[in-house]
């Protein structure tokens, strides 16, 4: 299998940070023998070369190649290894804040003009993002809450800016990006509590149907968790939500998890590293069958979800979770949209230079413009 490393993104639910990859295969052709299947239906897949998708544009291919070069430089400064202690996580956070986020945020702020103001809301650290030219009348009574990604460990403040800057500018809407409490210093349901506190504070100024919540990866899971937390607290639900690069269900060994592991060249993890990761995990003390952790496991709470936007891509290791979440929401009669981008990896739209990222921004803006309103 011909694999070369690509761009660093977020981690799996086990709190191990993996490096997302793009495949740059050569033109070599191989004779593939038929795959063998076992009695339980498992299939042994022969090794093969996986080229970039033929549907990707030349512009996209150029950006992916540039990302590969950037990641190689990043790894020289911030070499990867699975975190085994709180100190490891803090060190990796600092390295990302110094060498990963600044360049992306600089490109975003050059292209999308916004104002960013730190603010403590209900005791929770947030950042308020507003379009540079002001908020038009149509959106003055609307607000979005962003919940950043980062494996429940990383992305505080900086990840929120990456996810919020283009949406605030293009959507001409106010965004409250929540710097929720993360592992390993905190455990589930700390983030849900923080989101609920901010949401409750916003209810003083906004009608619930005019509030939207969205996030990518860990932020997507926390968005789903927050909806159930609000149900538990008997608070009115938001008008719409966005689960991006994540669903309301654990990956559970779905196809995408196995396929991603095969094509990504992900580093092997020792048993000691696995045990360390479990101890550091946001979910180390949680009951993973609790719908407060994974709402998709309980149709009673999932069926009460507001209008939902799902975004994923064909090389996202959480694709299966997103697709299954979509199927469950459809069965329960929830109004839901699913958008899947071809040939790209987990959280690909963090890269603002990809033309597909601009397509994602437009989908998000249109969805919330259409679904935040009177019920």
Ramachandran area for residue 172 (φ above 0: left; ψ -120 to 50: alpha; else beta): left
Structurally, at CATH architecture level, domain 111-265+285-371 sits in 3-Layer(aba) Sandwich (3.40)
Q: What pLDDT was estimated at residue 288? A: 86
The list of the chain residues with pLDDT below 70 reads 1-37, 252, 265-269, 374-375
Q: What pLDDT was estimated at residue 35? A: 57
Q: Which residues contact 110 (CB under 8 A, 6 or more apart)?
A: none
- Longest Cα–Cα distance of the chain, Å, equals 65
Q: What pLDDT was estimated at residue 45? A: 80
3-state secondary structure of 242: strand
d(CA 63, CA 288): 38
Q: CA distances (Å), 253 to each of 41, 260, 319, 368, in order? A: 14, 11, 11, 32
The DSSP annotation for 61-120 comes to: HHHHHHHHHHHHHHHHHS------SHHHHHHHHHHHHHHTHHHHHHHHHHHS-EEEEEEE
d(CA 207, CA 274): 44
Q: What pLDDT was estimated at residue 254? A: 87
Q: What are the extents of the domains in the chain?
A: 111-265+285-371
- Is residue 320 within 8 A of residue 257, CB to CB? The reply is yes
CA torsion through residues 195, 197, 198, 204, sign: positive
Q: What pLDDT was estimated at residue 14? A: 33
Q: What pLDDT was estimated at residue 272? A: 77
Q: What pLDDT was estimated at residue 23? A: 26
d(CA 49, CA 171): 40
3-state secondary structure of 216: strand
Q: What pLDDT was estimated at residue 139? A: 97
d(CA 124, CA 92): 23
d(CA 344, CA 56): 9
Q: What pLDDT was estimated at residue 17? A: 37
3-state secondary structure of 22: strand
pTM of the model: 0.90
pLDDT digits (tens, 9 = 90+) for 38-62: 777 888 887 788 899 999 999 999 9
Q: What pLDDT was estimated at residue 265? A: 64
The helix or strand, by DSSP H or E, that contains position 240, with its residue range, turns out to be strand 240-244
- Phi and psi torsions of 319, nearest 5°: -55, -45
Quote the tokens at residue 24. 């740059």
The helix or strand, by DSSP H or E, that contains position 331, with its residue range, turns out to be helix 319-331
Buried b (16+ CB within 10 A) or exposed e, 194-218: bbbbbbebbeeebbbbbbbbbbbbb
């Amino acid at each position: 299998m011909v694999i070369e490393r690509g761009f660093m993104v977020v981690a799996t639910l086990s709190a191990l940070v993996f490096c997302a990859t793009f495949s740059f295969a050569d033109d070599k052709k191989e004779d593939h023998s038929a795959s063998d299947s076992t009695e339980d239906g498992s299939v042994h897949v022969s090794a093969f070369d996986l080229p970039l998708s033929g549907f990707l544009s030349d512009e996209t291919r150029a950006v992916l190649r540039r990302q590969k070069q950037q990641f190689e430089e990043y790894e020289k400064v911030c070499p990867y290894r699975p975190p085994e202690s709180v100190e490891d996580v803090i060190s990796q956070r600092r390295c990302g804040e110094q060498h990963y986020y600044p360049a992306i945020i600089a490109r975003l702020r050059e292209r999308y003009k916004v104002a960013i103001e730190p603010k403590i809301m209900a005791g929770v650290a947030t950042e308020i993002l507003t379009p540079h030219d002001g908020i038009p009348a149509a959106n003055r009574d609307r607000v979005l809450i962003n919940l950043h990604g980062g494996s429940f460990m990383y992305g505080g403040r900086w990840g929120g800016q990456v996810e919020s800057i283009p949406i605030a500018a293009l959507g001409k809407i106010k965004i409250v990006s929540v710097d929720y409490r993360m592992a390993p210093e905190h455990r589930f349901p700390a983030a849900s509590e923080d989101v609920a506190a901010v949401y409750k504070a916003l209810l003083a100024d906004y009608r619930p149907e005019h509030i939207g919540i969205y996030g990518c990866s860990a932020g997507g899971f926390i968005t789903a968790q927050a909806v159930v937390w609000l149900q538990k607290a008997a608070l009115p639900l938001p008008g719409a939500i966005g689960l991006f690069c994540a669903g309301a269900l654990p990956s559970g060994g779905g196809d995408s998890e196995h396929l991603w592991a095969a094509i990504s060249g992900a580093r092997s993890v020792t048993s000691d590293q696995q045990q360390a990761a479990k101890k550091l995990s946001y979910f180390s003390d949680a009951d993973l069958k609790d719908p407060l952790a994974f709402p998709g496991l309980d149709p009673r709470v999932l069926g009460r979800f507001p209008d939902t936007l799902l975004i994923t891509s064909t090389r996202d290791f959480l694709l299966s979770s997103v697709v299954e979440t979509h199927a469950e929401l459809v069965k329960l009669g929830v109004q839901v949209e699913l958008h899947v981008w071809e040939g790209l990896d987990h959280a690909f739209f963090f890269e603002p230079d990809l033309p597909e990222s601009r397509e994602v921004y437009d989908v998000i803006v249109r969805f919330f413009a259409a679904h935040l309103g009177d019920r």
